[in-house]
Amino acid sequence: MQKRTLGKNLEVSALGLGCMSMTTAYGPAADKEEMIRMLRAAHDLGVTHFDTAEAYGPFANEELVGEALQPVRSEVTLATKFGFDIDVETGARRSGTNSRPEHVKAVAEASLKRLRTDTIDLFYQHRVDPNVPIEDVAGAVKELIAEGKVKHFGMSEAAVQTIRRAHAVQPVTAVQSEYSLFYRGPEAELLPALEELGIGFVPFSPLGAGFLTGKIDEKTTFDPSDFRNLVPRFSPEARRANMALVDLVKSVAEGKSATPAQVALAWLLAQRPWIVPIPGTTKLHRLKENLGAVDLKLTEGDLKHIDEVASGLKLEGARLPEAVLKMTGL
The catalytic residues are 56
Residue from 107, 66, 50 nearest 83 by CA: 107
**How far are the Cα atoms of 11, 99, 106, 122, 147 from residue 14, in angstroms, in the given order?**
9, 30, 31, 16, 29
Q: What phi and psi values does residue 125 have, to the nearest 5 degrees?
A: -80, 115
- Could you tell me if 200 and 6 are in contact, meaning their C-beta atoms sit under 8 angstroms apart? yes
Please write down the long-range contacts of 194-199, taking CB distance under 8 Å and 24 or more positions apart: 194/163, 194/274, 195/272, 195/274, 197/163, 197/164, 197/167, 197/172, 198/7, 198/8, 199/6, 199/7, 199/163, 199/167, 199/172, 199/173, 199/174, 199/175, 199/274
136 contacts 92 by C-beta, under 8 angstroms:
no
| Alpha-carbon distances, residue 55 vs 20, 176, 266 (angstroms) | 9, 15, 29
Residue 279 to residue 316: CA distance in whole angstroms: 23
Name residues whose C-beta falls within 8 Å of residue 125's C-beta, 6 or more positions apart in sequence: 81, 82, 83, 99, 137, 141, 154, 155, 156, 158, 166
Q: Which residues pair with 93 in a beta bridge?
A: 86
Q: Using DSSP bridges, classify how beta strands 84-86 and 93-97 pair: parallel, antiparallel or unpaired.
A: antiparallel
CA-nearest of 282, 288, 289 to 259 is 289
Q: How far is CA 226 from the centre of its chain?
A: 17
* Cβ pair 226, 25 in contact under 8 A: yes
